[in-house]
Amino acid sequence: MPAWSLWLAAGLLLMAAELLLPGAFLVWIGAAALGTGLVLALLPMGFIPTALVFIALLAAGVALGLRAFRPTRPRGALNTPGAGLIGRTGVLLGNGRVRVGDSDWPARGAGEAGAVVEVVAVEGMTLLVRPVASGEGAAFPRDPHPPGG
């Protein structure tokens, strides 16, 4: 039996084994073996060049697979402080703090204690706020625990 047919058979077996063991990355080894078998069918060579062809094809397949199937992080602001806070309204408590929802945060921005503010940015743990115009914050519930009360 010629060597190229052994390489093709090994490649097919490895790729079939990938179906039984998903995630074992046997597909790349199988593809490299198939490629080596095809190269040997066209250009017979000795053991060392055959091994080098197999290693080169395996490295190329793994590199391609890593590039094509690498998980990427979403570009959004998922799980960042600003993701859930920017655009929300809160009550300025004074002393550089604001209550947004049921949490108190350090804040920077204009306004007097008790004023309704909107979060426009987040810098670390500090919220940057701006006063809300009188008509904008009408739906915001007043602070149940006003400062000093």
Task: Assess contact for 25 and 31: CB atoms under 8 A.
Answer: no
pLDDT at residue number 124: 83
Residue 148 lies in a domain: no
One domain for residues 15 and 64? yes
One domain for residues 94 and 61? no
Half-sphere exposure of residue 129, counting CA atoms within 13 Å on the CB side? 32
Compute the distance between CA of residue 148 and CA of residue 21 in angstroms, rounded to an integer. 65
Domain count, the chain: 2
Q: Is the pLDDT of residue 81 over 70?
A: no
One domain for residues 61 and 8? yes
pLDDT at residue number 67: 83
Q: What is the mean pLDDT of the chain?
A: 83
One domain for residues 13 and 36? yes
Number of other residues whose CB lies within 10 A of the CB of residue 122: 18
Residue 88 lies in a domain: yes
One domain for residues 102 and 53? no
Note the pTM of the prediction, 2 decimals.
0.49
Task: Assess contact for 94 and 103: CB atoms under 8 A.
Answer: no
Residue 86 lies in a domain: yes
Residue 110 lies in a domain: yes
Share of the chain above pLDDT 70, in %: 81
One domain for residues 22 and 58? yes
β strands within the chain, DSSP E: 89-94, 97-100, 103-108, 116-123, 126-131
Compute the distance between CA of residue 26 and CA of residue 43 in angstroms, rounded to an integer. 25
Q: Is the pLDDT of residue 96 over 90?
A: no
The two beta strands, 103-108 and 126-131, are: parallel
